[in-house]
Amino acid sequence: METKCPFLKDQKVAFCKVFPARKMIPYDRLCLQDNICMKEEHRNCPSYREKEGERVSGHSSNKKVCPYMEVEEVLFCGVYPVKKMIPSSAFKLECPCTTEAYIDCPAYRQIAQGDVAPNEAVTVRGFLLDDTVYYHRGHLWLQRVNGKVRLGFDDFGQWLLGDIEKITFPHREGQVERSQPLLRISCSHGTAEIASPLSGTVMKVNEGACRDTSLISTDPYGKGWLVELRLAKDEVDRLEQQGEGFFSTPQARRWLKAEVDRLHDVLETEIGVTMSDGGQLTSNLLDAITKKQWGLLIKTFLRKKEG
């Protein structure tokens, strides 16, 4: 048996060490003759001038190539919908991708072993969407399971949250009302309180995801589910109504595409991260924003109050 996931890819990339949003560019796609970072004109770059202004006078670089351009070997999953590049040096430590444990990875099973039927999962603007579930405008998915409704974060929602550290349920048992707190997510950037999209009774909490929060990002529509509710009688029909903030195929695909477009707009106009070249959204982008900016994204896309 292989001791390394066959879908683990490596690539040499270049990026600016001082630009606030790290955008990695494949090194073999750089036009070295025209790239300002590889010429003396790099001294005209605003990021270079700002960084050099912090240096002690008389110690500016005289190099032809910009000293802040970094070239690094990175690894990434070739099948996961959102490409997360990790420095090769990080894999010196044991991890599932470089051991026999990779066979338990949901992304590997989905492609190599066919755990998910081909028509059930699609990618919309880089985010995975499961056609078998309902979606709520606050980026929760819902699915009927044995007379109850199971909820979890969709792929877009878990990406916005970033590194999840802890999940807390104010109502692990008993009633929860629509628009009232359903769960609290503690992340590296802060805490997000998520309201319940429907009224009902909490029947079950996914203890596995509470113990291993990485399941929410690696398997958002499977092992990363969060809670099961038994809906109040007058709430069941709401799932079928797009006007109530719920979507199913094909409306869900159009809605998610519009949400990604809106995210690009917020990143550019409100946060100052330029995505004009259609650059791919990676987890590295979240590392470049402040806690206040992260809070703006959570408020804009995840905290949806019902009327």
How far is Cα 65 from Cα 218, in angstroms, rounded to an integer? 39
pLDDT bin (cut points 50, 70, 90) of residue 276 is very low
Which residues have CB under 8 Å from 147's CB, separation 6+?
230
pLDDT by residue (tens digit) across 249-263? 889 999 999 999 999
At residue 300, does pLDDT exceed 70? yes
Contact 119, 127 (CB under 8 A): no
At residue 213, does pLDDT exceed 50? yes
Q: Which helix (H) or strand (E) segment is 118 a member of? A: none
How far is Cα 239 from Cα 231, in angstroms, rounded to an integer? 11
Query: What average pLDDT does the segment 191-210 reach?
Result: 94
How far is Cα 302 from Cα 305, in angstroms, rounded to an integer? 9
pLDDT by residue (tens digit) across 116-172? 444 456 788 888 899 889 999 999 999 999 889 999 999 999 999 998 999 999 877
Q: Is the preceding peptide bond at 250 cis, omega within 30 degrees of 0? A: yes
Q: 42-46, 99-103, 260-264: lowest mean pLDDT where? A: 99-103
CB atoms within 10 A of CB 241: 9
β-pairing, 181-187 with 190-195? antiparallel
Assign residue 7 a region (left: φ > 0; alpha: ψ between -120 and 50; beta: otherwise): alpha
Nearest CA-CA partner of 76 in 12, 3, 165, 158: 12
Which residue ranges form the domains of the chain, and what is each CATH number? 8-100 (no CATH), 120-307 (2.40.50.100)
pLDDT bin (cut points 50, 70, 90) of residue 303 is confident
Chain-centre distance of CA 304, in angstroms? 18
How far is Cα 131 from Cα 127, in angstroms, rounded to an integer? 13
| Entry pTM | 0.63
More confident residue, 122 or 266: 266
Contact 235, 198 (CB under 8 A): yes
